[in-house]
Amino acid sequence: MKPRVLALAAVGALVLGIGVLAFLTRAQLTGVERGRRLAEAEGCFGCHGPEGIRGTANPGRDEKTVPSYEGTLMMYAKNAAEVREWIRDGGTRARHGDPDWKAERMHGALRMPAFGRRLTSSQIDDLVAYVMAVSGEVAPDDSLALHGRDRAEELGCVGCHGPGGRLARPNPGSLKGYVPPWDGADFPELVSSEAEFREWVEDGVGRRFRDNPAAQFFLRRAPLHMPSYRKHLEPGDLEALWAYVGWLRAQPVDQPH
């Protein structure tokens, strides 16, 4: 084979390899995670606190602070539609029609902006998805799945995976650069079955990845590592956690970007 042909073949193989690597490492973010990143980029956490869970002081208002998304959300919005109105219009339709609320709003040092002209409809969708996820208002009706959600919080899983296991917190050096959410497109690539889920929870890694040198390269260089929970599990925990993940993944989701 001529040198020129060999060189072209080598370049082609390199380009193909780069393309495959880019495909394998592409981010597949859910609406909830896109919403978190957008909220941070748009300055929402400046008033609502880190990740929207600790509002800052707001002198002049009766409640004294900007509300957080967690815990107190339903005092301000009854459902996702009203959360959308807050984001799009700076308040719900009912509140904008209340003279007392408008007067009280003017007394506050901080006022909710209207993002309707700044953000697209799909971006507002992502913000609504994030706020609802952090609020904890969307929960399983099934008692086993609900117990799984609660145990995930008690075991500390949400520290890395975020509220409800739905965020993609940064994990530089890992294959995707983030901790995969349980309801995202990355999850089935890592967990193919309930048995493999058990391996991850009990041992901190699935056997399929523990025995793969390429996977080990990314696992070793990432600063965040899945802990081994074998010694910390109670009877029934694995079944409950798996039930919660199954419930979460059965919820309607958008296409990852």
- What are the mean pLDDT values of the chain's consecutive 10-residue runs (257 residues total)? 50 36 65 96 95 90 88 85 96 91 87 94 96 90 97 96 95 94 95 97 95 91 95 98 97 56
Domain end point (choices 106, 135, 164): 135
The reported pLDDT for the residue numbered 13 is 36
Which CATH number belongs to the domain containing residue 92 in this structure?
1.10.760
94: its two tokens = 């009912």
The number of distinct structural domains making up the chain is 2
Q: Do both 108 and 90 map to the same domain?
A: yes
Residue 210 in tokens: 């523990």
pLDDT the model gives residue 224: 94
Query: Are 166 and 181 within 8 A, CB to CB?
Result: yes
Cα–Cα nearest to 87, from 112, 111, 63, 70: 112
Task: Give 135: exposed, middle or buried? Use CB within 10 Å, 0-12, 13-18, 19+.
Answer: buried
Range list of β-strands (E), the chain: none
Of residues 126, 30, 33, the one with CA closest to residue 80: 126
Do 150 and 173 have their domain in common?
A: yes
CA distance 84 to 82: 5
162 in the same domain as 190 = yes
Q: How far is CA 187 from each of CA 20, 35, 196, rounded to the nearest angstrom?
A: 19, 19, 11
Same domain for 111 and 198?
no
Rounded CA separation 123/35 (Å): 7
CATH number of domain containing 226: 1.10.760.10
pLDDT recorded at residue 146: 97
Given 135, 159, 183, the domain boundary residue is 135
Let me know whether 185 and 106 are in one domain: no
For residues 203 and 169, state if they share a domain. Answer: yes
Q: Would you say residue 17 lies in a domain?
A: no
Residues 158 and 233 in one domain: yes
Task: State the pLDDT at residue 107.
Answer: 85
pTM comes to 0.83
Domain boundary among 135, 170, 191: 135
- Asked whether residue 214 is assigned to any structural domain, the reply reads yes
Kindly state whether residue 27 falls inside one of the protein's structural domains. no
Concatenating the DSSP letter of every residue in 190-242 gives H--SHHHHHHHHHHSS-HHHHT-HHHHHHHHH-S--PPP-GGGPPTTHHHHHH
Query: Can you give the pLDDT at residue 250?
Result: 93
Position 19 in a domain: no
| Whole-angstrom distance, CA of residue 54 vs CA of residue 69 | 8
User: CA 133, CA 139: separation in Å to the nearest integer?
Assistant: 9
Say whether both 162 and 205 belong to one domain.
yes
Please indicate, yes or no, whether residues 82 and 147 belong to a single structural domain of this protein: no
